[in-house]
C-alpha cells in the first residue's frame, strides 16, 4: 500500500473553482519546449554546459500522433492550482463524442470532475476506475451523484495506471496522477497518443480491470490464449505497449534487453529503483556506457540502490519526482506508469511486494527521445545532491518494522 506521505501528498483536496476555459489555451505559453537535445554520448554534461530553457514555448513532439507535456512544479501558477496540464486534458474530455474511460490512482481535480460530468450529461458513456483507497473524496462523490459509473479497484496491487481513453481513438497516459499534487507539485509527464490501435490496446486492459471489479472479483486476468503482440507501427516509429501484471515477466526481460544492448548512454528518471535484474544490468553496463539517473529524494530513507555512474537525488522542493522514464542511446524511450521495481524487494522491505496495475511504452524514435532527454536534463539540473544523500538512513533489518512499498 502506498505510504501515508505519498497518499497525503497526492490526495490533498482543494475546493476552489477552476479558472475559465480560456486558460486552457494560455497553458500553451507556459509548458517548456520539447526539442532534441544533442549531447556527447560518452560523457555526462556539466551543469554549466546545459542549455537555457526558453521562457515562452510549447511542448509537443514532431509527430502528428503524439504530443508530450511536462508539469512544472516551479511555475507561479502552481500556487493557485491553475493553468496546469489538467486543463489541457479536461478540454479533450469535453470534446468527447462517444466514450471516456478513466483509470487513475486518484482524482481530486475540479477541472477533470467538471469535464467528466459535462461529457456524461451530453450522452457520452463515462466510466471511471480508481484505486479503492482513493475512491470517496468530494470530487468523486460529485461525479457519482451526476450518474457517472465509478468503481474502486480491489486488486491486491495498486491501481497505478493513470490513463484516459477518449472515443476509443486516443489515449492520454504517462506518470501524472489526476490529482492536485500530481499536476502541480510533482514532476510528471503526460502523453497524448492519437492512434486507434494503441487506444484499443488500452481499452482492452481497461475492460479487463473494470469488468473484474464490477463483478466483485477485484482481480483481472488476461483472456486465455497467447498474449497479443505488443508491437505497433506508426508512421516511422515502432512502439511496444505492455500492461502489468499480465506482462510483468515480459516487461522486465525486455527492459533488460534494451539496457544490455545500449552502446552509448542511458539516462533515467525514477521515483524508486528496486528491480534487482535491472539494477544489476545498469551497474554492469555503466562500465562501458554513460549512465546517469535521478531518483526521488524521499526514497533515501529506504536505502534505494543507486546504479550507474552518476545518480542524483531529485531537487524538487514542492513535491515528488514522480516520472518513470529511461532514454537509451538517444533514440529509445521507455516510459509509463510502471516504476523500475521488482517483486523481489527483500533487501529493502524484508518481504515481497505485489505487482501493481500499470503500463509501459517503449518508443523507438530519436525525435521523441530528444524531447525526453530535454526533460531529463531539466530535472538533472535541479538535482545537485549525489546519491546517496547525507540523510540516508540504514536499511531496515528483520527486527525493525518494514516499510510499505510505494506505488
pLDDT tens digit string along 254-312?
A: 998 999 999 999 999 988 766 666 767 777 787 789 999 898 887 766 655 555 678 88
Dihedral sign, Cα of residue 383, residue 384, residue 388, residue 392: negative
Q: How confident is the model at residue 75 (pLDDT cuts 50, 70, 90)?
A: confident
> Is residue 330 in a domain?
yes
> Is residue 394 in a domain?
no
Tell me which H or E stretch contains 213. helix 196-214
Most confident of 1-10, 116-125, 208-217, 384-393: 116-125
pLDDT attached to residue 300: 62
CATH number at residue 15: 3.30.870.10
Q: Coil, strand, or helix at residue 59?
A: coil
314, 389 in Cβ contact below 8 A?
no
Q: Across residues 116-124, what is the average pLDDT?
A: 97
Residue of 69 and 59 predicted with greater confidence: 69
Q: What's the mean per-residue pLDDT of the chain?
A: 77
Span of 116-125, 139-148, 278-287, 316-325 with lowest mean pLDDT: 278-287
> Is residue 391 in a domain?
no
Torsion from C-alpha of 156, 157, 158, 161, nearest 10 degrees: -130
pLDDT attached to residue 249: 80
Residue 165 has pLDDT above 90, yes or no: yes
Q: Across residues 13-21, what is the average pLDDT?
A: 35
Q: How many domains does the chain have?
A: 1
Residue 26 has pLDDT above 70, yes or no: no
pLDDT attached to residue 254: 92
pLDDT attached to residue 199: 97
pLDDT attached to residue 344: 33
237, 364 in Cβ contact below 8 A?
yes
pTM for this entry: 0.78
Q: How many angstroms separate the CA atoms of 383 and 21, rounded?
A: 35
> Is residue 397 in a domain?
no
CA 143 to centroid of chain Cα atoms: 24
Q: How confident is the model at residue 106 (pLDDT cuts 50, 70, 90)?
A: very high
CA 329 to centroid of chain Cα atoms: 21
Residue of 14 and 205 predicted with greater confidence: 205
The residue segments making up the domain with residue 17 are 4-386
> Is residue 392 in a domain?
no
pLDDT attached to residue 306: 55
Q: Across residues 243-248, what is the average pLDDT?
A: 85
85, 71 in Cβ contact below 8 A?
yes
Q: Across residues 63-82, what is the average pLDDT?
A: 80
> Is residue 324 in a domain?
yes
pLDDT attached to residue 214: 83
> Is residue 367 in a domain?
yes
> Is residue 31 in a domain?
yes
Q: How confident is the model at residue 386 (pLDDT cuts 50, 70, 90)?
A: confident
Q: Across residues 130-150, what is the average pLDDT?
A: 93
Q: How many angstroms separate the CA atoms of 45 and 39, rounded?
A: 7
Amino acid at each position: 500500500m502506498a505510504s501515508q506521505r505519498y497518499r497525503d501528498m497526492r490526495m490533498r483536496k482543494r475546493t476552489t473553482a477552476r479558472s475559465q476555459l480560456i486558460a486552457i489555451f494560455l497553458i500553451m505559453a507556459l509548458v517548456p519546449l520539447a526539442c532534441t537535445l544533442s549531447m556527447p554520448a560518452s560523457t555526462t554534461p556539466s551543469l554549466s554546459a546545459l542549455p537555457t530553457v526558453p521562457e515562452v514555448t510549447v511542448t509537443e513532439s514532431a509527430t502528428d500522433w503524439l504530443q508530450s507535456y511536462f508539469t512544472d512544479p516551479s511555475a507561479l501558477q502552481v500556487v493557485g492550482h491553475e493553468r496546469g496540464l489538467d486543463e489541457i486534458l479536461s478540454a479533450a474530455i469535453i470534446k468527447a463524442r462517444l466514450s471516456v474511460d478513466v483509470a487513475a490512482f486518484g482524482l481530486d481535480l475540479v477541472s477533470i470532475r467538471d469535464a467528466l460530468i459535462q461529457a456524461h450529461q451530453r450522452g457520452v458513456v463515462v466510466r471511471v476506475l480508481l484505486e479503492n483507497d482513493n475512491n470517496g473524496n468530494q470530487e468523486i462523490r460529485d461525479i457519482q451523484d451526476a450518474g457517472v459509473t465509478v468503481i474502486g479497484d480491489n486488486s491486491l496491487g495498486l491501481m497505478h495506471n493513470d490513463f484516459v481513453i477518449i472515443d476509443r481513438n486516443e489515449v492520454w497516459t504517462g506518470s501524472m496522477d489526476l490529482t492536485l499534487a500530481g499536476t502541480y507539485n510533482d514532476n510528471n509527464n503526460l502523453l497524448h497518443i492519437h492512434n486507434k490501435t494503441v487506444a484499443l490496446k488500452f481499452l482492452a486492459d481497461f475492460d479487463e480491470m473494470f469488468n473484474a471489479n464490477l463483478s466483485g472479483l477485484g482481480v483481472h486476468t488476461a483472456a486465455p490464449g497467447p498474449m497479443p503482440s505488443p508491437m505497433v507501427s506508426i508512421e516511422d516509429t515502432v512502439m511496444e505497449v505492455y500492461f502489468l501484471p499480465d506482462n510483468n515477466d515480459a516487461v522486465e526481460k525486455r527492459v533488460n534487453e534494451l539496457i544490455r544492448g545500449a552502446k552509448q548512454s542511458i539516462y533515467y528518471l525514477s521515483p524508486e529503483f528496486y528491480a534487482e535484474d535491472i539494477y544489476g544490468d545498469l551497474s554492469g553496463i555503466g562500465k562501458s556506457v554513460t549512465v546517469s539517473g535521478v531518483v526521488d529524494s524521499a526514497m533515501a530513507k529506504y536505502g534505494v540502490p543507486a546504479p550507474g555512474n552518476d545518480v542524483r537525488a531529485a531537487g524538487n522542493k514542492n513535491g515528488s519526482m514522480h516520472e518513470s522514464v529511461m532514454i537509451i542511446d538517444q533514440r529509445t524511450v521507455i516510459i509509463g506508469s510502471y516504476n523500475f521495481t521488482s517483486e523481489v524487494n527483500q533487501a529493502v522491505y524484508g518481504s515481497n511486494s505485489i505487482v501493481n496495475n500499470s503500463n509501459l511504452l517503449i518508443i523507438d524514435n530519436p525525435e521523441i527521445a530528444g524531447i525526453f532527454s530535454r526533460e531529463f536534463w531539466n530535472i538533472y539540473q535541479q538535482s545537485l545532491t549525489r546519491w546517496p544523500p547525507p540523510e540516508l538512513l540504514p536499511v531496515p533489518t528483520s527486527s525493525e518494522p518494514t516499510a510499505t512499498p510505494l506505488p
